[in-house]
Chains A and B, each alone.
Chain A
Amino acid sequence: MVKAIVIAKNTFQESLRLRSYQIILVFALLLLGSSQLFSFLTPAEQLKMIKDVSLSGIEFFGMLLAIFASMTALRSEFETNTISTLFSKPLKRSDFILGKFLGMAMVITLSIIMMSVVFIGLILLKQRSFEISLFSALFLIWAEMLVIVAITLAVAAFASTAFTLIFVLFLFLVGHLTGYGLSMAERMKNPVMHVVARFFYKIIPNFENFAIRDQVVVGGTVPISYLLKTFGYGIIYAAIALIICLYFFRYREV
């Protein structure tokens, strides 16, 4: 575990030096700032737009960060061959993967905190108060990013950079549409299709579970029980992805 923490710390520091990470972060901050542009709308509409744009921006840029930084953190070890040096020392592969995941979790946590600070600042400027329910949305975006990090590591453990990028982006889109897919399949008369649709619905990560911002920005509240269940879902899915990652990584030539 100590070795995993050392790897995590190193991954965190390396990721902070990544240029893509910094560019995405600047973009995110610019986007959050640009939400001030809705000043021609009524105050209530303006506030709703700022919340929507900011939360969507945090999720979108967080997702890009999670994919790019996690992919680079693992692939760069292969490309620069530092992985051979690492495994010439008494280091378990499970510690390496766990360390990479924890390091990326730290990166994501830091970036979401930074973007959230800008977001909270914007809201406080506009309405002098900040609804607790908005924290729920930020919390679930963070949990969703942890799942994306784990999935990216799992795919990057056996696939090329391009494939990893396309696959995880595709999975992110599909993961937001599984509910639509299921409801469309349930309208079909074929019972086999129902079973197949339900199977895929349960297997594919359901990122829509984490999407509560549409409700939160219009004043809706989300019970803690829902947050806990969804966080639990995220943890289990991340564990699944890490097991797959470890399986492929264990027998990989380094």
Chain B
Amino acid sequence: MLIKKADDIRSSEITPKDLYLNRRKFLAGAAVAGAAAVTGIGVKELLTPSSLYAGEKIQGLQKSSFSTDEKYTPYQYVTHYNNYYEFSTEKEEPADMAKNFRTRPWTVTIDGAVKKKQKLDIDQILKFAAPEERVYRHRCVEGWSIVVPWIGFSLNELIKRAEPLGKAKFVEFTTIYDVSQMPGQRRQVLQWPYVEGLRMDEAMHPLALLCFGMYGEVLPNQNGAPLRLVIPWKYGFKSIKGIVKVHFTESQPMTTWNLANPPDFGFYSNVNPNVETYHSQATERRLGEFNKRPTLMFNGYDQVAGLYSGMDLKKYY
């Protein structure tokens, strides 16, 4: 018997991706134009950079000498295998659950031990430096890894502008807390909002990336839009997503996973094949590969080793 599949949507009815993105941009543009009419600021100024929504191309990308020449992990994997517990503890679910997440308007509060306490609009931040494409290895503490062409610029570009005081020894980052948009926050599987932190010298290291895009496009929501960190020499959970607050402090921040499970999630959490957590960290599986590969110290980013000279990394893991 021949079973014919019902054609529920004819292909001609499916809106091409760029058209549908344009429509959203048009709506956003209309809102901005309205605001411009009231405030008297030029529409053009408000609309640059034009990249507002996931999937839009980011223009004028600079190449980076930090990039690895390893093969990119397929986009489909990187966007459908996400540890983003604010949405769900199932990795394949954030892709769908985050699709209506609002990334504009978005402000980032800078406070604590800095000269310039301020609230920055996300589109102001994006203009701090030219966007670079950095192809980094990314290693999760769960034992898998990916290679991603991230887009952003060094985190220190933001920090410098805040002018931290001498007593600022650590930077603490906070993810947005919005139960109406992030259903995972309704359950206390972790302490919300999500908090991560770096020591000041770690945060100032040029490898530490303030990220807003990947694969040539604006960051998809499930990957941490509109603003996240990418700290390639540390396990993935240190690379906090959906940042709304950057707080400078004298003491080591109480970070979310460290609070939840101190023996397995250290504050530093540098990739280290010699330190075992709840399972061996000696090897990893690159998504898409069958065999496992050996894990490298600092995930292969030896240039950060100097940050930890004289420290017992088995104790401060």
| A and B are interacting partners | no
Which of A's residues lie within 8 Å of B, judged by CB?
Answer: none
